[in-house]
């Protein structure tokens, strides 16, 4: 008998403004799996939401911005050594309106794209950020971490990737 799915569904978006991307430094929430890391904006699906609905709601809640132009770029499967699996719909956006508001999950900052690599990032995020920068067409990426949050395996469109 197959094991029952015990994962979560999320969205994540990297919003572009010229040569900068809006990044969220996760420093405000207690018990945050992303504590101290820099990520895009997004979050967990609510009941009956589509990926686009979740994206638009989460971006508005976390930034105050309304996305006018966005694109689904890939699906990322995170497998944690702590027994958690997450399926993340990965987006980029290049059009928005509104005024930014403070985020209760961390500090928002516009970061030049050539400086993102210097931030404290998840190792797997470095992989998909590289694909986004190279305009890789829609992709499926599986990232497997051990219980200490070390990246153990990466699989792109069914093919293993070498880890550096």
CATH code, 46: 3.90.79.10
Structural domains counted in the chain: 1
- The model's pTM is 0.92
pLDDT value for 55: 98
**Alpha-carbon radius of gyration of the chain:** 15
pLDDT of res. 93: 98
Predicted confidence band of residue 4 (pLDDT cuts 50, 70, 90): low
Residue 6, domain member (yes or no): no
Residue 139 has pLDDT above 80, yes or no: yes
Q: Tell me: the pLDDT tens digits for 143-160?
A: 999 999 999 999 999 999
Better pLDDT: 29 or 146: 146
Q: Is residue 137 one of the residues assigned to a domain?
A: yes
How is 138-163 classified by DSSP, letter by letter?
Answer: SEEEEEEE-TTS-EEEEEETTEE---
The DSSP call for residue 119 is S
In a domain, 1, yes or no: no
Domain of 75, in residue numbers: 11-160
Nearest to 96 by CA among 46, 32, 28, 21: 21
């Amino acid at each position: 008998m197959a094991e029952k799915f015990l994962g979560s569904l999320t969205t994540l978006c990297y919003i572009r403004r010229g040569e900068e991307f809006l990044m969220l430094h996760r420093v405000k929430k207690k018990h945050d799996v992303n504590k101290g890391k820099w990520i895009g904006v997004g979050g967990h699906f609510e009941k009956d939401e589509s990926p686009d609905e979740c994206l638009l709601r989460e971006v508005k809640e976390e930034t105050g911005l309304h996305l006018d132009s966005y694109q689904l770029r890939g699906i990322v499967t995170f497998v944690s050594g702590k027994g958690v699996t997450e399926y993340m719909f990965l987006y980029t956006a290049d059009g928005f309106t509104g005024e930014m508001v403070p985020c209760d999950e961390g500090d928002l900052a516009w970061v030049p794209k050539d400086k993102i690599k210097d931030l404290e990032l998840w190792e797997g995020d470095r992989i998909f950020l590289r694909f986004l920068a190279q305009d890789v067409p829609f992709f499926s990426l599986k990232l497997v971490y051990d219980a200490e949050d070390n990246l153990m395996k990466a699989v792109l469109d069914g093919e293993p990737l070498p880890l550096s």
